[in-house]
C-alpha cells in the first residue's frame, strides 16, 4: 500500500519522489519526471510544476512523463484539470475496461493497450489460470505523456529505466514513451504465446496418447484462457496500423519506423494465436470423438455380456416354470448337463464377441 508522498522507487529514481497533494492517504503516482533533450532533469517534481517547465522549454523537446497506477476518480480529476484531459478520457482511465484502441480528444491522443503475462504453473487443470491480463492507457499530449496502469501484467519501471539509457530516442518526445511501452507490451505477448504453445503441445500429446484419460473440462479451460489472450492481442492491430500510416503527422517519422517493428511482432503473435485456436479446436473435436468411441465400446461390452447372461436367464427361466412333464426332469444327470450346456453356450458366445472386438 502506498502512503502519502511515498512510492516504490525504481533503479533510476535516485531517491526522488513526486509530490502529490491531492490524496492524504494514498498516491497513485508512481513516478513524475521532466525530460529535456532526452535527459531526465534532477529534483522532485509536482505534475503541475513539471508541465509548466516543459512548456517553457518546448524548443528543447521537453516533456513530462507522469506514471500512474490504478488512480481514483478524485486523483484523475485533479490531473485532468491540470493537463486539460477530456472527461471521457478520465472515465476510461479509472474504469480500465477498454479494448485496445486509439482515440483523439483535441490535442490529446489516447492509446489503450491490454497487457498480458503468463502465470501458468506447469500442468493445465480444469480451473487453472494461464494468462493474466491488465491495461495500460497512454495519454499523449503537447509536452506530456501520462501512463495509467491497471494490474501487474506489465510493470513500466523497467521500460522507463531502459528508455532513459537511449537519450536520442527519448529526445523524440512523448511518442517515444508510447513506442517503448507498446514494444514492452507486445514483447510480453510473444513470451505468453511461446508459453501457451508449450501447454498446447503437452495437452495435445496427452489427448492423443493411447492411455488418454484427459478430462474435456481441461480443454475448455485452455480455450477460455486463449480467448482472453486473443481479446487482448488481436484488437491492437488497428491502432498500430493507424500509428504507422504515412498520413499520420502526429507521430514523428522516426518513431513510426519503430512502431512498424512492433507491428511486425504483433502480426506474428496474432498468427500464432489463430493457429493455436485452430489447433485447440482440433484437439477438442478429437477428444469429443474419443469420448464417443469410448461410449460405443462400453455399450458393445455391455451388450455382449448381456447376451451371454441371457442364455443362463432363458434356460433357468424355462426350468423354473415347474411343469410336471419336462425333458430330463427325472434324469439323474439332468442338472449338471443343463449347467454344462449353459456354460458351453456362454463360452461359444464369449469367443465370438472377442473375435468381433466387443470384449
Q: Contact at 8 Å (CB) between 133 and 153?
A: yes
**Per-residue pLDDT reduced to its tens digit, 117-176:** 998 776 666 667 788 999 999 999 999 999 999 998 899 999 999 999 999 999 999 999
Give the separation between CA 33 and CA 250, rounded to whole angstroms: 22
pTM equals: 0.75
Grid cell, residue 106, equals 483535441
The answer for residues whose C-beta is within 8 angstroms of residue 170's C-beta and 6 or more apart is 35, 38, 39, 163, 164, 176, 177
Q: Contact at 8 Å (CB) between 163 and 184?
A: no
**Per-residue pLDDT reduced to its tens digit, 55-86:** 888 778 899 999 999 999 999 999 999 999 99
**Per-residue pLDDT reduced to its tens digit, 288-297:** 777 787 778 7
| Res 8: pLDDT | 33
Of the candidates 204, 212, 350, the residue with the CA atom closest to the CA atom of residue 293: 212
Give the separation between CA 27 and CA 46, rounded to whole angstroms: 12
| Res 266: pLDDT | 95
**Per-residue pLDDT reduced to its tens digit, 204-229:** 887 777 665 667 778 888 888 899 99
Q: What does DSSP say about strands 144-150 and 63-69: parallel, antiparallel, or unpaired? A: parallel
Grid cell, residue 296, equals 460405443
Q: Where are the beta strands (DSSP E) in the chain?
A: 29-36, 39-40, 63-69, 101-105, 108-118, 131-141, 144-150
**Per-residue pLDDT reduced to its tens digit, 6-24:** 333 333 343 333 444 444 4
Q: What is the DSSP string of 55-78?
A: HHTGGGT-EEEEEEES--HHHHHH
Q: Contact at 8 Å (CB) between 111 and 140?
A: yes
Top pLDDT among 283 and 290 is at 283
Of the candidates 70, 216, 219, 193, the residue with the CA atom closest to the CA atom of residue 131: 193
- Ramachandran area for residue 24 (φ above 0: left; ψ -120 to 50: alpha; else beta): alpha
pLDDT at 102 over 90: yes
CA distances from 49 to 79, 232, 298 (A): 12, 36, 77
Q: What's the longest Cα–Cα distance across the chain?
A: 123
| Res 307: pLDDT | 83
- pLDDT band of residue 35 (cuts 50, 70, 90) is very high
| Res 59: pLDDT | 76
Strand order in the sheet with 108-118: 39-40, 29-36, 63-69, 144-150, 131-141, 108-118, 101-105
Q: How many CB atoms are located within 10 Å of the residue 108 CB? A: 18
Q: What share of the chain in percent tops pLDDT 70?
A: 87
What domains can you pick out in the chain, each with its CATH number?
29-290 (3.30.460.20), 292-356 (1.20.58.340)
Task: Tell me which residue has cell 535527459.
Answer: 39
- pLDDT band of residue 259 (cuts 50, 70, 90) is very high
What is the residue-averaged pLDDT of the chain? 83
Q: Contact at 8 Å (CB) between 1 and 29?
A: no
Give the separation between CA 284 and CA 25, rounded to whole angstroms: 51
- CA 355 to chain centroid, in Å, comes to 50
Give the separation between CA 231 and CA 249, rounded to whole angstroms: 29
Q: Contact at 8 Å (CB) between 47 and 18?
A: yes
Amino acid at each position: 500500500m502506498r502512503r502519502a508522498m511515498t512510492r516504490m522507487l525504481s533503479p533510476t529514481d535516485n531517491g526522488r519522489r513526486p509530490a502529490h497533494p491531492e490524496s492524504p492517504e494514498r498516491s497513485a503516482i508512481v513516478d513524475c519526471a521532466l525530460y529535456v533533450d532526452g535527459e531526465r532533469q534532477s529534483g522532485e517534481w509536482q505534475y503541475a510544476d513539471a508541465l509548466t517547465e516543459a512548456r517553457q522549454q518546448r524548443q528543447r523537446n521537453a516533456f513530462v512523463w507522469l506514471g500512474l497506477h490504478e488512480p481514483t476518480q478524485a486523483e484523475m480529476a485533479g490531473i485532468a484539470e491540470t493537463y486539460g484531459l477530456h472527461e471521457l478520457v478520465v472515465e476510461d482511465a479509472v474504469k480500465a475496461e477498454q479494448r485496445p484502441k486509439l482515440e483523439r480528444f483535441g490535442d490529446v491522443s489516447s492509446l489503450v493497450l491490454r497487457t498480458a503475462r503468463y502465470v501458468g504453473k506447469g500442468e493445465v487443470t480444469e480451473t487453472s489460470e494461464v494468462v493474466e491480463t491488465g491495461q495500460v492507457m497512454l495519454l499523449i499530449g503537447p509536452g506530456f505523456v501520462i501512463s495509467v496502469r491497471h494490474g501487474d501484467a506489465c510493470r513500466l519501471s523497467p521500460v522507463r529505466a531502459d528508455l532513459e539509457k537511449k537519450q536520442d530516442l527519448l529526445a523524440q518526445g512523448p511518442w517515444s514513451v508510447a513506442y517503448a511501452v507498446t514494444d514492452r507490451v507486445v514483447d510480453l505477448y510473444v513470451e505468453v504465446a511461446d508459453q501457451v504453445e508449450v501447454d498446447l503441445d503437452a495437452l495435445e500429446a496427452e489427448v492423443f496418447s493411447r492411455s488418454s484419460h484427459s478430462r474435456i473440462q481441461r480443454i475448455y479451460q485452455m480455450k477460455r484462457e486463449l480467448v482472453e489472450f486473443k481479446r487482448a492481442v488481436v484488437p491492437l492491430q488497428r491502432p498500430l496500423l493507424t500509428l504507422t500510416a504515412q498520413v499520420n503527422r502526429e507521430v514523428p517519422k522516426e518513431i513510426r519506423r519503430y512502431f512498424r517493428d512492433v507491428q511486425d511482432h504483433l502480426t506474428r503473435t496474432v498468427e500464432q494465436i489463430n493457429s493455436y485456436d485452430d489447433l485447440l479446436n482440433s484437439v477438442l473435436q478429437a477428444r469429443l470423438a474419443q469420448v464417443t468411441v469410448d461410449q460405443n465400446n462400453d455399450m458393445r461390452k455391455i451388450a455382449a455380456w448381456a447376451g451371454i447372461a441371457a442364455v443362463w436367464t432363458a434356460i433357468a427361466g424355462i426350468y423354473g416354470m415347474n411343469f410336471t412333464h419336462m425333458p430330463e426332469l427325472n434324469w439323474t444327470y439332468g442338472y449338471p448337463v443343463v449347467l454344462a450346456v449353459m456354460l458351453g453356450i456362454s463360452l461359444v458366445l464369449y469367443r465370438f464377441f472377442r473375435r468381433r472386438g466387443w470384449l
